Amino acid sequence: MTGGTRRGRVDQARGKIKQLEGRLLKLEGQLKILQGQARQARGTARLRLAQLEKEAASQVQRVQVALRISRERVAEALQTGRRRVEKLMRSVEPTLQRSLAQGRELMRVSASEARLLSRGLKAGVKAGREAFRRSRRG
């Protein structure tokens, strides 16, 4: 149950990272356009474009920071999950090995009993056949 919830959170974080990456690409494109326009502009338009360029650069930086943090969180969540699974496997392995050994022993004993029962059945059939023949002869 926890794995499903964790997986959902990881998938959600991955989706958010992709969304942030898309947003970052869009902002970087807009920033390049503003830089080109700022180089061509004059007077107050140039000042306004410079201000917009600074705001866009600030947004790009914030998105980059958010993206880095999201990646770190996803990596941390995956590492934590991996450690938990490894710990669980280490705790379950001895029990699993014991169960396998018990299962093998039970199969060995059952096979031995089956061989004995098979021999007994064959001997009983043979004895019954012989008794039937004797009774018919005589």
Tell me the per-residue pLDDT of 72-113, one tens digit each, with 9 for 90 and over: 888 888 899 889 989 988 898 999 889 999 999 999 999 999
**Would the pLDDT of 124 be above 50?**
yes
Instruction: Give me the pLDDT at residue 103, please.
Output: 92
Query: Residues near 21 by Cβ (< 8 Å), separated by ≥ 6?
Result: 67
What is the residue range of 111's domain? 2-137
Q: Output the pTM of the full model.
A: 0.47
Instruction: Give me the pLDDT at residue 3, please.
Output: 52
Helix (H, G, I), strand (E, B) or coil at 118: helix
Q: Which amino acid is at 22?
A: G
CA dist., res. 29 & res. 37, Å (int)? 13
CA dist., res. 76 & res. 83, Å (int)? 10
Instruction: Give me the pLDDT at residue 4, please.
Output: 60
CA dist., res. 47 & res. 52, Å (int)? 9
Q: How many domains would you assign to the chain?
A: 1
Instruction: Give me the pLDDT at residue 37, please.
Output: 79
Instruction: Give me the pLDDT at residue 42, please.
Output: 80
Instruction: Give me the pLDDT at residue 50, please.
Output: 80
Instruction: Copy the structure tokens of residue 57.
Output: 């650069």
